[in-house]
């Protein structure tokens, strides 16, 4: 059974191992971190850092053996929903990433946020037209 939740104290070591295998170092104590479990085994994690008026996506990681099933989408959507509920409506990512572009991130054209290559307006992600057309057709 697949389960998605915010990280709890018992999961830090397991998530650190997954991140280490991907070459990611993170203390996990700041920001919003979600874990994805399959039958009590953590198979993925995602993190967003909170700034006063926006968030920065740090990573979405899925164990190699569990990739290809769009499980990262579940983590991304959970992070975005949490941010939206907190009143954070913009999220940025520092690098160009094909997966995130496929999910709706776009080139960042906000001048004072130039250090980030990608941007997503969270309400548009959830409430925008499904086809990217002004009338939804």
Domain that holds residue 40: 2-127
pLDDT of residue 111: 87
pLDDT of residue 129: 55
Q: Is the pLDDT of residue 72 over 90?
A: yes
Q: Is the pLDDT of residue 13 over 70?
A: yes
Residue at 60 is within a domain: yes
pLDDT of residue 127: 87
Write the secondary structure of the chain as one string of H (helix), E (strand) and C (coil). Answer: CEEEEECCHHHHHHHHHHHHHCCCCCCCCCCEEEEEEECCEEEEEEEEEECCCCEEEEEEEECHHHCCCCHHHHHHHHHHHHHHHCCCCEEEECCCCHHHHHHCCEECCCHHHCCCCEEEEHHHHHHCCCCCCCCCC
Residue at 66 is within a domain: yes
Q: Comparing 92 with 136, which gets the higher pLDDT? A: 92
Q: What is the pTM of this model?
A: 0.89
Number of domains observed in the structure of the chain: 1
Residue at 134 is within a domain: no
Residue at 6 is within a domain: yes
């Amino acid at each position: 059974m697949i389960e998605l939740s915010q990280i709890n104290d018992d999961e830090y070591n397991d998530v650190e191992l997954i991140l280490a295998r991907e070459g990611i170092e993170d203390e996990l104590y700041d920001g919003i971190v979600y874990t994805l479990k399959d039958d009590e085994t953590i198979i993925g994690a995602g993190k967003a850092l909170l700034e006063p008026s926006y968030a920065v996506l740090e990573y979405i990681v899925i164990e190699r053996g569990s990739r290809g099933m769009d499980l990262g989408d579940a983590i991304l959507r959970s992070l975005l929903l949490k941010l939206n509920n907190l009143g954070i409506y913009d999220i940025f990512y520092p690098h160009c990433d094909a997966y995130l572009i496929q999910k709706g991130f776009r080139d960042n054209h906000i001048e004072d946020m130039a250090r980030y290559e990608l941007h997503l307006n969270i309400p548009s992600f959830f409430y925008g037209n499904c086809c990217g057309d002004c009338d939804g057709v």
